[in-house]
Every structure is written in structure tokens, then in C-alpha cells.
Amino acid sequence: MGLWGLIGIPILILIYIIKNKYTEQTVSSTYLWTLSERFLKRRNPLTMVTGLIALFLQILAVAAISIAIAHPVFTLKGVARQYYFILDTSGSMAAENADGTTLFDAGKAHIRDMIDNAGNGSTYTLVCVGDTYDVVYESRDDKADALEMLDEMQVGGGEGAMQTALFEAREAFAQNSGLQMYLFTDKNYTTTENITLVNLSQVVENYAIADLGYVLGEETVTLNANVVSYESDADLTVEFYKNGETEAFSTQTVSVVKGAKTPIAPVTFEGEFNVVEAVILNADGQKLDNGSVLFSEESQNEYKVLLVSDTPFFLQSALKVAGTAKVDTLATASYVGQSGYDLYIFDCFNPGTMPKDGAVWLINLSGNLPQSGFSVYGENEPKDGAELSLSKSTSSIVKALTKDLRGTAVYVHTYQKYGALQNSCEFKTIYTYNSSPMVFIGKNGYGNREVVFAFDLHESNFPLTYDYVVLIRNILEYSFPKVLEKYTYDCGEVLAMNATPDCETIEIESPSGVKELKTLNTIGNYRLGEVGVYTITMNAKSGSKTYNVYAQLPETERAPLQTESEFRIYGEPTDGKKDGKYDRLILIFALLSVMFIADWVVYCYDKYQLR
């Protein structure tokens, strides 16, 4: 379509034919004019063809513009190739060379040089292999785009998914045996076939902390850890920090034999902690495993409880033994709709309005309570007392709540008759008497977890039995399921989470500061791709709560100079050369600019007599 611009050439010629070639000039004397013309003709014999030169330059300019718009592509025989790059982005590639660059940087530099020096028209496929297999681009023929996307690649922290990369490379080679395949990694493969291995590994010292953990005593915390030196024997100095403090509270020196896990001396301190960090001070080439962070499970799962009771002793004692709750106790007369708690316990008291921002336990509730999900029919007093029956349901929830119960006989003197349980509240019964629910759990009208006792604990033998504290512990776990299954992961693992009550969205912030917002339907697919601390924020109507996990470098990525068995791609390779192309129009546009400037000079020379 651009060549339609060539119609401008005959139009230019037509304009040149019909344009007025005469100019009017005023002179002082016709004699002087005639005399000057005689001298000019003698000095400038080409005066008559200057107009033709301008026309010729204008025709060339129109032709150049048309060709540029048409975007011509010139075929270059057999100068292009089809490149297939596999770049290892696993954690071990973050090891540094002597000049401060990483092995990953060296791999990218190799690929960049190959793309820069490749023939025009070559195609490039880039595959990155960290804890996942990712095709960055496939059969791309634009060098600038390929290099830009290469520069954006970052090293990860997980194990390399090389088996997946090998399988996909074999599939690609089976479809196109002309691919020029390259593997950039720090692993050494004893056997390769149909692929060029670029081994980036170098001998560097690497020290690591492994298996950081803690044991709780009655008043103390004891830390344990191992240290490893992968290249040589070494004396390693380890410092310990807690709760974000900048000054170490303990320093240990450990003599380590090459390749052997060596335990540090146990570190004991008094009091609670939220987070502890252990750091090796000795410098090495792999910084991702020089430290480890440990979060306290107890502090992360700590919650606030409001106990509204005039006789709170039994409940206070059980909560202290069974959980890590911080309990505030109020007399029933002092309750005026307080908020901001994770759990509300109403003991023989009707609050009138159901709290919206936490789980609720209702004990011996007399009178209906909106949003409770059940109705109260009144108090019953069996003639000879009531012996409760423990549920034998195979429901997973009931089995979890009755876990470790011995089935000790439970007797009550009086109880409330509850009924009309709403199916939408998902109630499950734990204890019954004559088919009446005596202890049951579910969700109230606000979607928060609810536990109901149909009797006064003080009017029963239940608090004096072994099963009492066990049941309280179980229903605490039901009311507050662990948000995080664990607090230390290997890079590449998927984060396991449970949503808090009333949770609407979950925000996850990576160690590099990248934030991702998750809904309840997508929380199960977040992969920890970086080494460091992740922050998880549960956003609920009643407020937000923050949790932390630490992703560490996998043990398989810590040892340098690893040797793998083979990376074979089966098949008979072909030449793979293809026709290249040349479509850069910068020279055409440069020529166009020169022609416009030349035409302007000739025009001025002719029009204004710049002789």
C-alpha cells in the first residue's frame, strides 16, 4: 500500500510542466540587465538545469517516502538460526563471583552476547527454570524485545525444575531438530546431547545455617541450629537477634568440618519472643543462606478473649491451660457491647446483641439472641439429673472436636432446651441428652464460629473431669483454626493458609516488597519464590491481622559445584540455518533527510540567486 505513494512522481512532473518559470525583477537599466546576463551565462553554464535538479531530488524524496512506508524486507540467505535458551534461575545461581556479579548475571550476559551477534531474522526462545518452569518468550525474532525481556528476569530461591525443562526441550527438539539449544547453569552434567552446556559455576566459599528451631520451657526459650561449611573447614561466628533488636543477645563460635552439619551450643533466654534471627558473620559467595529467621508459633497465634461472667473460675483455668489466649474478664453488669476481641464468651448471660467481629461461646443462654441460629424453649430439670451422651458422628469436624476425649460420664442438674437449629448455620452436635443438643458448634448469622453449652458449668461435674480441659482445647482450635500451617518454608513451596473469621481479602507482601491481593478462593496457590520474610495480612470487616513466614534457600541449592547425571535430548540434529532478513529503514530515512536538505539548497540558490 505504501507504494501507492509513487503516484506523487507524475504529479510532481505535471506541476513542473505547468508552473510559471518566469520571475519579475526591477532593475535600474535594461542595458545593465543585458550586460549582467551576458556575464552570468559565461560563468554559470548549468543555470538552465537547476530546476531539473530540484525536480529530480523531489522525485527521489517521494520515492524514498513510499518505499519507507511500504516497509521492504530484504532476504539474507542462510545467516539466521533458531536459538533455544534454558536459563537456570534457581537459588544457587545467586552465588557471587569475585567481581560481585552473580552466576545468574553471567548467564544473562552470555545470552545477551549471542542475541546481539546473531544474524538478523534469527528466532529466540527463552526458558527460565527455577522452582517453576516458565517460558519467557518463544520464537521471537525481534532482538530489542528479546533483550528487554531478558533484562527483566530475576534469580529465584527455589530448586531448579530441570526435569520439566528436559522434557519440554525434548518435545521442542522433536518438532524442530534445527534448534540450537543452550543450557546456562551452575550444575555440571556428566552427559549432554544435542545441547550446549554453559557451566557458570565457580569455586566459592559457602556457609549456611540450617534447622533453626526452639523449645519452650516454663520460663525460658532454648534455640537450636546447625551450621555448614560446603568448601572447607572453618571457624564460624553466629550472632542471634530477637524481636527486631539491632544488638545481638548471643554470639556463638563453631568449628565446622567441611560438608558436615555442626550443631551450635544451645542458646537459652528468658521471656517470650516474636521473632529470632541467626546470622553468620563470615563472608562467603552465597548470601541467601547466611541467615535464618524463626517466628514464634505462640505469638503468631495469640488472640484476645473477652470473658463475661460473674463466676469465671472454671473457664479462666481451662483457657490458661489449653491455649495462648490473653483473657480480659468482665462482670455481666459491666458489659456494654465491647468490641475488638477475637473471642467472646458469655457465661450464663444474654448480651442482647451478637458481636460481629469474633467467635462466640454461649454458655447456658436463657432467652433468644438474634443471629444465634437457634431458639430457646426454656429450662429443664430432669428428676434424677441428666447424663450426656458423646456424639459418635464420623464427621471430620466432630472427630476433631472429640479428639483425645476419654468419654468420661458427664452429668448436669439443669439444662436449657434449644431447638429450631438453622441448617444454614452448619451446626454439629458434640453432646446430647434425650436427642436435645447439649454442646454443639456452628456459625452464627454473621458467619463467625459459635460454640454453645446448654447448661451451667457450675451445675455439672464437667469441669472436674479430664475431658473438660481437652474439650476446651479442641473448641479453641475450632474457634481459632491456625492461619498458617507452618512458619518456615523452603523457597518454591506453596504457602498453606486458613482464613481468619470474617476475613474478606488477604494481602501477601514478598521480601522484595511486591504485594499481591488474594481472595478467599485463591489463597491456596501462592508460591514462595524469594528467600526472606513474607508478610500476610488478613483483612476483615473488624480490622486486619498480620502474620509472617520465612522462606529459606532449599538445602539442595546451597552446595556449590553440584554434578547431575545427564541432560540428553534425543534425535538427529539438522543444520537449522534459515534465511535472515534486513528491514531496518534508518538508511532510507537518512537518505530522505539529505535529499530534502539538498532540494532546499537548490531551491534557494535558484529563487534568491545565491550565486
pLDDT of residue 49: 64
Identify whether residues 67 and 128 lie together within a single domain: no
CATH of the domain at 496: 2.60.40
Question: What is the spatial distance between Cα 508 and Cα 538, in angstroms, rounded to a whole number?
Answer: 9
Question: What is the spatial distance between Cα 383 and Cα 510, in angstroms, rounded to a whole number?
Answer: 63
Q: What angle do CA 53, 54, 59 make, to 5 degrees?
A: 95
Give how many domains the chain has, as a whole number. Answer: 5
Identify whether residues 18 and 45 lie together within a single domain: yes
Question: What is the spatial distance between Cα 43 and Cα 129, in angstroms, rounded to a whole number?
Answer: 76
Q: What is the DSSP string of 555-598?
A: GGGTSSS-EEEEEE--S------EEEEE---HHHHHHHHHHHHH
Identify whether residues 372 and 309 lie together within a single domain: yes
Within a 13 Å sphere around the CA of 548, how many CA atoms are in the beta-carbon half? Answer: 14
pLDDT of residue 593: 72
Identify whether residues 362 and 322 lie together within a single domain: yes
Residue 148 burial (10 A CB sphere; 0-12, 13-18, 19+): exposed
Identify whether residues 345 and 267 lie together within a single domain: no
pTM tops 0.95, yes or no: no
Identify whether residues 117 and 171 lie together within a single domain: yes
CATH of the domain at 236: 2.60.40.10
| Residue where one domain finishes, among candidates 248, 280, 299 | 299
| Residue where one domain finishes, among candidates 456, 479, 502 | 479
Q: Which of 518, 515, 516, 512 is nearest to 533 (CA)?
A: 512
The contacts found for 101-108 with CB under 8 angstroms, 24 or more apart, are 102/155, 103/186, 103/200, 103/201, 103/202, 104/155, 106/200, 107/184, 107/185, 107/198, 107/200, 108/150, 108/151, 108/153
Identify whether residues 212 and 195 lie together within a single domain: no
Residues 105, 201 contacting (CB under 8 angstroms): no
| Residue where one domain finishes, among candidates 237, 270, 299 | 299
Question: What is the spatial distance between Cα 248 and Cα 261, in angstroms, rounded to a whole number?
Answer: 23
Residue 455 burial (10 A CB sphere; 0-12, 13-18, 19+): buried
Residues 121, 141 contacting (CB under 8 angstroms): yes
Where residue 232 falls (left for φ over 0; alpha for ψ -120 to 50; beta otherwise) is beta
Phi, psi of 424, deg, nearest 5: -65, -20
Identify whether residues 383 and 527 lie together within a single domain: no
Q: Which of 518, 477, 472, 476 is nearest to 495 (CA)?
A: 518
Helix (H) or strand (E) holding 235: strand 234-242
Helix (H) or strand (E) holding 349: none
Identify whether residues 254 and 395 lie together within a single domain: no
pLDDT of residue 611: 46
Question: What is the spatial distance between Cα 61 and Cα 71, in angstroms, rounded to a whole number?
Answer: 16
Identify whether residues 529 and 498 lie together within a single domain: yes
Cell of 73: 524486507
Structural Rg of the chain based on CA atoms = 40
Cell of 475: 473448641
- The dihedral built from the CA positions of residue 143, 149, 152 and 158, taken in this order, carries a sign that is negative
Cell of 137: 518468550
CATH of the domain at 108: 3.40.50.410
- The dihedral built from the CA positions of residue 143, 146, 152 and 155, taken in this order, carries a sign that is negative
Phi, psi of 571, deg, nearest 5: 135, 170
Identify whether residues 308 and 448 lie together within a single domain: yes
Identify whether residues 242 and 172 lie together within a single domain: no
CATH of the domain at 336: 3.40.50.880
- Domain of residue 14 covers 2-72+585-607
Which regions in the chain score pLDDT beneath 50?
A: 610-611
Cell of 400: 476433631
Beta-strand (E) ranges in 257-351? 262-263, 267-270, 275-280, 291-295, 304-308, 326-330, 343-347
Q: Which of 410, 391, 413, 306 is nearest to 355 (CA)?
A: 306
